[in-house]
Amino acid sequence: MSSFEINTDRSELDVPLIYRFLSEQSSWAVGISRAIVDRAIENSLCFGGYVDGRQVAFARVVTDFATFGNLVDMFVIPEYRGRGFAEELLEAVMNHPSLQGLRRFTLATGDCHGLYEKFGFAPPQRPETLMERYFPNIYVS
């Protein structure tokens, strides 16, 4: 049986795979350029999930490592879904030493609320205090 391994070593990331998934298959970043993916990875705490040395999952956290974190771009490639890898990946993210004690940890999801609720995520307690600038189709020409 293959084991699922997770680490934060950027040098092991399969960036072409991450780029292909985000730009072609994600529901949130279709059309994103490779240059933007590269810059996002460079400026985030990234988690790669691997089976037999092949990357099959990814997540990144945008954070100041002190007060705030935002989980983004989390995915498991389709042929590896349904094996619990998303939950294992999220557990690794939430247990990472550099992400402990954050005052606020956020994410946006359209369809995985149940997964994130298992780790304490909930709708904002004070949604009236939150604002955003959101450009959902920014990468589509």
> pLDDT tens, 84-108?
999 999 999 999 999 999 999 999 9
Bridge partner list, 76: 57
Of the candidates 59, 95, 84, 87, the residue with the CA atom closest to the CA atom of residue 74: 59
54 has a pLDDT exceeding 80 = yes
The reported pTM is: 0.94
Secondary structure letter of residue 21 according to DSSP: I
Dist CA 61 CA 41 (whole Å)? 9
Dist CA 95 CA 81 (whole Å)? 22
Dist CA 97 CA 15 (whole Å)? 24
User: Is residue 134 very low, low, confident or very high in pLDDT (cuts 50, 70, 90)?
Assistant: very high
